[in-house]
Amino acid sequence: MEAVRDFCEFLSQFWQKGLGAINIETLEPIFVSELFTKETGIQNRDIHLCGIDFYEKFLHPKDYIILPRIHDVTMKYFEKQKALNECMPIATYNIRLKNLVGDYRSFSMSFKIISIETISVKSKRFGLLICQPETKFGFERFVLCIPDKKKRLYFSNTSGKYVSKEHLEFRAIEKDILKLIAGGYNEAKITKELHVKIDLIRYYKKCIYQKLYVSNMSEAIYIATLHNLI
């Protein structure tokens, strides 16, 4: 009965809110609603034609590379929660999808696992998916929200796992570099201030970009300041 109830709730939310359904094991899209198509430009015929290659066609190349790695870690976390009989988190991937004219737009791809033991469509495990226009970036791009504990975990590129904001593993020198650049220092001044070579400064800047999921120092400073990391 519990499986049937979850399935009915799944269908109810699907039709009321205009969501999408995915195979949670592979992330392969199964079906999308009209509202989903309106928001993303992606139609059912697109997912039927592409199958699992859907992401290669519509997802930004950089997101296409990193998403399988992150989703693998997400699934392992779900398995751990299930083994402990704890509340399943809601996963959110902030990704970039290509629209009909070839431009990339940012969307928040949030999904909830619906475990079905007796009813199956391609898999015994569904994902309840919604894609909405989104502008978030930085380390909040890949998040696990655990409702019963009111906790948020973020995917760390450095450690390859989900961690709390306090454990994003920023080195002291990386924080110093962010503070100095925010204060108007260029690379030459930073090398004198911190007594390190310029090549090392550039290495740590690349590390900062990777940890915060940004492509330039202006974005890095904005994200770090917004979340009180510096």
pLDDT tens track for 188-209: 999 999 999 999 999 999 999 9
pLDDT value of position 180:
94
What does DSSP assign to residue 59?
A: B
How many Cβ atoms are within 10 Å of 141's Cβ, its own excluded? 23
Nearest to 227 by CA among 133, 214, 215: 214
Mean of the per-residue pLDDT values of the chain: 80
Give yes or no for residue 106 having a pLDDT over 50: yes
Q: Tell me how far apart the alpha carbons of residues 7 and 95 are, in angstroms, rounded to a whole number.
A: 27
> For residue 195, which of 176, 219, 178 has the smallest C-alpha distance?
176
Say how far apart CA 185 and CA 193 lie, in whole Å: 9
Q: Residue 136: what pLDDT?
A: 67
Whole-model pTM: value is 0.76
- Are 137 and 154 a contacting pair, CB within 8 Å? no
194 or 116, which is more confident = 194
Q: CA-CA distance, 190 to 229, in Å (whole number)?
A: 19
The string of pLDDT tens digits covering residues 42-83 is 888 888 888 778 888 888 998 888 888 999 999 888 888 877
